[in-house]
Chain A
Amino acid sequence: MAFARLAEAFAEHSIRVSAVALDREHAIELSGELLVASGRATPQYVSEMVEVLETHGPYFVIAPGIALAHSKPSDAVLSTGLSLITLAEPIEFQNLANDPVRLVIGLCAVDHDSHIELLAELSALLSDEPTVNSLLNAVDTEHIRALF
């Protein structure tokens, strides 16, 4: 397996393909709900993820079409993990450079530095354009897991 840490960070129920989001807040909530469903965070964390958007704007749309939704380490984080949704219809996050968003990665971390190597794997995955295209076109979660 090329990305062992990624495979572990995406717990069962942490990936969803072709999700229907109404707007950017909803897209963030959907990614956060998967962190809750997969046992990584409490529902409080989902509210915090949306608050980040309200406080700091859509800065976390880090590359064309890709958002990295997250809050910060707190009691709402149960264990470090990731979630992933592909969107059935692209959503405008009002990020001038990288809109519209088609892929939302949810991240929760228990502290500031123990997930660095995990993010290095995520960076390697998302900086490879063919891989991103495969993620976006995946028809089920198994196709996505096959990329880790």
Chain B
Amino acid sequence: MKIIAVCGMGIGTSVLLKMNAEKVLAQLGIEATVEATDMKTARESRDAQVILTTPDLAQLLTGLPSEVITIDHFFDLEELTKKLSASLL
């Protein structure tokens, strides 16, 4: 399964999101690759099952085949666990 973590530039916010998502996925026993990308790449993406991003950016990522999951607090592994398991388990 492919998951993309998206931020405006693809170097800061999305990288933090990718790292913490990988931790949570490993704990949940879900096999997935997580890529950090910028908005432009995300808009062109068609093969990601899930897009992880912030509420602000989610508004700009509509009409894609992927499920969009928004994360408020990037360091809160409980929030990530809750939202990822609700979607993927």
Q: Which residues of A contact B (CB under 8 A)?
A: 52, 55-60, 62-64, 68, 70-73, 95-98, 107, 109, 112, 115-116, 119-120, 122-123, 126-127
- B12 touches which of A58, A63, A68, A98 (Cβ 8 Å): A68
What are the 5 A-B residue pairs with the smallest beta carbon separation, nearest first?
A97-B72, A127-B75, A56-B8, A59-B56, A72-B9
Taking the closest CB of chain A, its distance from the CB of B59, in whole angstroms, is 8
- How many residue pairs between the two chains, A and B, have CB atoms under 8 Å in the bound complex? 78
The docked-state distance in angstroms from the alpha carbon of A60 to that of B74 is: 10
The docked-state distance in angstroms from the alpha carbon of A64 to that of B80 is: 15
- A123 touches which of B7, B20, B72 (Cβ 8 Å): B20
Q: Are A120 and B19 in contact (CB under 8 A)?
A: yes
26 contacts between A and B (CB under 8 A): A52-B9, A56-B8, A56-B39, A57-B56, A57-B57, A58-B56, A59-B7, A59-B57, A60-B54, A62-B54, A62-B73, A63-B74, A64-B73, A72-B10, A72-B11, A72-B38, A97-B72, A98-B72, A98-B73, A107-B12, A112-B10, A112-B36, A119-B19, A123-B20, A123-B74, A126-B75
Known: A63-B76, A115-B15, A122-B16. 13 other contacts (CB 8 A): A57-B56, A59-B53, A59-B54, A60-B13, A64-B73, A68-B12, A71-B9, A72-B38, A97-B72, A109-B11, A112-B10, A112-B36, A123-B19
